[in-house]
Amino acid sequence: MKLSLLLGLFLECLWILPSHSIAQTPELARAKATYDALRKASNEMDRMALHGQLQSLWSEALEAGGVLDVSWEDWEQAVVDLGEGPDRLVVLTWNVEKDNRTHVYGGWILMANPNNQERGYDYVMLSHDPAHNPEDAARMYRHDSWQGGLYYDGILTFDGNQPVYTLLAWDGADALVTRKWAETIDVRRGRVRLGTPAFELPEGLRKRMVLTYRDAVQATLTWEPENMRIVMDHLAPEEPSMTGQYAFYGPTLSYDALVWKRGAWVFEADVQVINPSSGSPKEYRDPSKARRSRRN
């Protein structure tokens, strides 16, 4: 990507930012502008160049402080902001679609820390390791060896007095399948673990609940606050002979749910859902599909 083109993209996005979006720090404004440029970039070379810039720009913005004072509405699905005061957790992620339809992910996690007099929070970078498989529901991943994914929503529950943070994720995977999953995040002494044994599923206790389905369809995985549950499409193969071949899986027009009980997410099959087609404002939709439709 030519430096002049990259600079032009950056300045264009910086110019259109609303004043309240850049009121916190110049470092945050640069990160926001680069994020917007990444969403608009039309080829892999440009997207990867902007991805590399985002890693360092977010490091500068987080070090500058003031990030917990930000209003995140303009960032759309890029931020999950949970809790208040000492229980607050903010998760920032982004994705880069490559030409082969696989994805590269980046992100940061902010943890409120009243003992941090300089910023009021600690932070760690999410380092994507593409060798890890998000479908492994028995595996825990660390922030420095992360399976990747775009976190688009989250839920804060409590196990006694202990906060439990649950994240909903999207993964573009490849040209054959898309994934969504729910997983909990454990934050202790500056270390982050993604995937703890908090899901009571039909196959047993698992560290995440994963949906894998045909790339050409959409599947629901959304938080339903009015019923205090996570609702998801029930998926099945087109034919029984295709069981286990997830490129042939899609929604069956029935729904399952995860309900928080006794400090765990408990699976409930065949639940009633009102107006599921309306979707959730935080239910992630793949922007790459829109790019591909424009190209076609």
pLDDT in tens, 180-208: 999 999 988 778 999 999 999 999 999 99
Q: What pLDDT, on the 0 to 100 scale, is given for residue 294?
A: 37
Kindly report, residue by residue over 135-149, the tens digit of the pLDDT: 999 999 999 999 999
Cβ partners under 8 Å of residue 244, min gap 6: 237
Last residue within a domain, chosen from 35, 54, 71: 71
Q: What's the CA gap between 123 and 89, in Å, rounded?
A: 10
Do 138 and 183 belong together in one domain?
yes
Q: Which structural domain range is residue 58 located in?
A: 1-71
Q: Over 50: is that where the pLDDT of 17 sits?
A: no
Q: What pLDDT, on the 0 to 100 scale, is given for residue 90?
A: 95
**Residue 224 lies inside a defined structural domain of this protein:** yes
Do 174 and 262 belong together in one domain?
yes
Kindly report, residue by residue over 111-136, the tens digit of the pLDDT: 999 999 999 999 999 999 999 999 99
Do 29 and 170 belong together in one domain?
no
Look at the chain and report how many structural domains it folds into: 2
Do 191 and 132 belong together in one domain?
yes
**How high does pLDDT run on average in the chain?**
86
Do 123 and 177 belong together in one domain?
yes
Closest CA to 102 of 182, 49, 47: 47
Kindly report, residue by residue over 248-276, the tens digit of the pLDDT: 999 999 999 999 999 999 999 999 997 65
In angstroms, how far apart are the furthest CA atoms of the chain?
A: 60
Do 108 and 216 belong together in one domain?
yes
Do 104 and 34 belong together in one domain?
no
**Residue 292 lies inside a defined structural domain of this protein:** no
- Please report which confidence band the pLDDT of residue 277 belongs to, taking 50, 70 and 90 as the band edges: low
Do 38 and 63 belong together in one domain?
yes
Kindly report, residue by residue over 48-93, the tens digit of the pLDDT: 999 999 999 999 999 999 898 888 877 765 799 999 999 999 999 9
